[in-house]
């Protein structure tokens, strides 16, 4: 298993940050490698909500699905992969931090078998780099006064 974690402070209320990151339909706007996301369950987001997504990892296009395993509004949304080449558990945690919101993004990558297992260290480095870049993009997007929340 490989654990990756990045944190940033956004100059916005916790509720605004949580609402944006917990809606995975927004993710392609701030996550570089994410090409598309589609919610595949009906109703409001919560434990059991599923999504299908398409992502580019190290130049390769992959498709996968995930399911929300924890959902506490304005605190945490956690999800795990249910298909795809890389198995993971991920979460976005929001807390009050200074004059805004502290956002912690965490991904635990599971060691796979075969090629994906051998490639895990390279995949992890690539994802960590993207995570840092994604938070810069998210901060710029959400703190832009013209951004429609």
Please name which of 146, 148, 145, 122 lies closest in space to residue 59, comparing C-alpha atoms.
122
pLDDT at 110: 81
pLDDT at 113: 55
Percent of the chain at pLDDT above 90?
Answer: 68
CA distance 119 to 139: 30
Q: What confidence tens digit (pLDDT) does each residue in 60-107 have?
A: 898 999 999 999 999 999 999 999 877 899 999 999 977 899 999 999
Cβ-Cβ contacts under 8 Å for 147 (sequence gap 6 or more)? 141
CA distance 79 to 22: 10
- Calculate mean pLDDT across residues 130-149: 86
Say which CATH superfamily domain 2-143 falls into.
START domain (3.30.530.20)
pLDDT at 18: 97
Name the residue ranges covered by the structural domains of the chain.
Answer: 2-143
pLDDT at 148: 53
Q: How many CB atoms lie within 10 A of CB 12?
A: 20
Percent of the chain at pLDDT above 70?
Answer: 91
**Given a cut of 80, is residue 149 above it in pLDDT?**
no
pTM: 0.88
Average pLDDT along the chain: 89
**What is the SS3 assignment for the chain?**
CEEEEEEEEECCCHHHHHHHHHCHHHHHHHCCCEEEEEECCCCCCCCCCEEEEEEEECCEEEEEEEEEEEEECCCEEEEEEEECCCCEEEEEEEEEECCEEEEEEEEEECCCCHHHHHHHHHHHHHHHHHHHHHHHHHHHHHHCCCCCC
């Amino acid at each position: 298993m490989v654990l990756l974690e990045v944190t940033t402070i956004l100059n916005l209320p916790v509720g605004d940050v949580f609402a944006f990151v917990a809606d995975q339909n927004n993710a392609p706007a701030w996550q570089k490698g994410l090409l598309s996301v589609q919610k595949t369950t009906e109703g409001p987001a919560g434990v059991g909500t599923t999504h299908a997504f398409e992502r580019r990892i190290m130049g390769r296009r992959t498709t996968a699905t995930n399911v929300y395993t924890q959902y506490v509004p304005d605190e945490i949304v956690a999800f795990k992969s249910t298909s795809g080449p890389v198995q993971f558990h991920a979460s976005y945690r929001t807390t009050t931090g200074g004059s805004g919101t502290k956002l912690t993004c965490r991904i635990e990558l599971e060691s796979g078998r075969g090629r994906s297992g051998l490639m895990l260290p390279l995949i992890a480095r690539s994802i960590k780099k993207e995570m840092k870049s994604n938070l810069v993009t998210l901060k710029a997007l959400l703190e832009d006064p013209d951004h429609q929340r």
